[in-house]
Amino acid sequence: MGLLKRTLQNIYPQDSDSRDRAKERLDQLALPHWSLGDLMDLSMDLAGITRSMDPPVARKAIITMAGDHGVVAEGVSKFPQEVTPQMVHNFVNGGAGINALARQAGAEVIVVDMGVAADLKQLAAEGKIINKKVGLGTDNIAKGPAMSLAMATRSVEAGIDIANDLADRIDLFGTGDMGIGNTTPSTAIAAVITGKPLAELTGRGTGLDDEQLAHKIKVLETILECNKPDPKDGLDILAKVGGFEIGGLAGLIIGAAAHKKPVVVDGFISSAAALIAITIEPFVRDYIICAHRSMEPGHRAMQEKLGCRPLLDLNLRLGEGTGAALAMNLVEAAVAILTEVATFEEAAVAGADK
């Protein structure tokens, strides 16, 4: 039995007893009932995910996965492909947006080469990145499938491997991405899984103008017509219209769920990975925390399909894991509410009249 199938056997829904115990405590806190709103809902989720009334979340990591995309040949991005390896070097040197926000959140940044179209062996040899390269970028999805089914499986299993390797020392996972052109495969995934029209889902990515946006929508129509992915088969969708880093992130999310660890899903690309993950195994959604709502118009439809409300809405559109790093502060806040706020009885405060 392969790693993916073995891992799926270890994924169960949140623990209802732990959720009930958390709700019972939260109901009695010395404040107007549920007045901390979504943070209290998150407290319950964290108790259910970790099976604990003191959910461990202190040891945090953003896993930023990088891969290139053959579809950039269709003119769907304002930036050239060589930006992907250049940004990997920037991550390693600590100078990217994700590095600043992860430092603020007390999270480490772990960079993974899933399929960058450049030789990054030296960085891997120096231990600065993890090498899980499946290929030198995907094939052009406007002309045919992104990758073979075997490569799709391998990319997902690479993400599971990383979750397994980190599970003993990381409590809270965050997802991040880097890959020029990756909003195009992500939009294709969103269209297949949500069933919404491309015009409603397609955004400007790195800053396309109106004419370039119209061209991107035409390219996406070609992609879906040419590949016809099966909406019920996550690996088929990934193989036909996905990306190596998207597969890796889907595997990371699946692996985190198997270890009963919360995973903070970043923006548009990470949400495409989460959609692949829940299509492979629906119970995975119980472990997903949606960090924020991106400026990409399709993100709302993706999060509705995932069944989660974002914690933040800050007009972010960078990716890298930046929204996940910001949201980790709120995850820690939700644990503090559950563990540090006194109940009416503990505080000797009179409760509300019945």
Q: Give the distance from CA 138 to its chain's centroid.
A: 20
CA geometry: angle 176, 181, 186, nearest 5 deg: 60
Q: Which neighbouring-strand residues pair with 178?
A: 66
Cα–Cα distance between 318 and 72 in angstroms, integer? 18
Task: Answer yes or no: 320 catalytic.
Answer: yes
- Beta-carbon contacts of residue 315 (< 8 Å; ≥ 6 apart): 295
Could you tell me the sign of the dihedral formed by the alpha carbons of 87, 92, 93, 99, in that order?
Answer: positive
Cα–Cα distance between 134 and 277 in angstroms, integer? 18
- Single out the catalytic residue among 320, 332, 345, 346: 320
Count CA atoms closer than 13 A to 282's CA, side-chain side.
4
Are residues 172 and 108 in contact, defined by beta-carbon separation less than 8 angstroms? no
CA dihedral 220, 221, 226, 229 (to 10 degrees): 80
Long-range contacts of 15-24 (CB under 8 A, 24+ apart): 15/47, 15/48, 15/51, 16/48, 18/47, 18/48, 18/50, 18/51, 18/52, 18/53, 19/44, 19/45, 19/47, 19/48, 21/47, 21/53, 22/46, 22/47, 22/48, 22/53, 22/338
Cα–Cα distance between 297 and 299 in angstroms, integer? 6
Residues with active-site annotation: 320
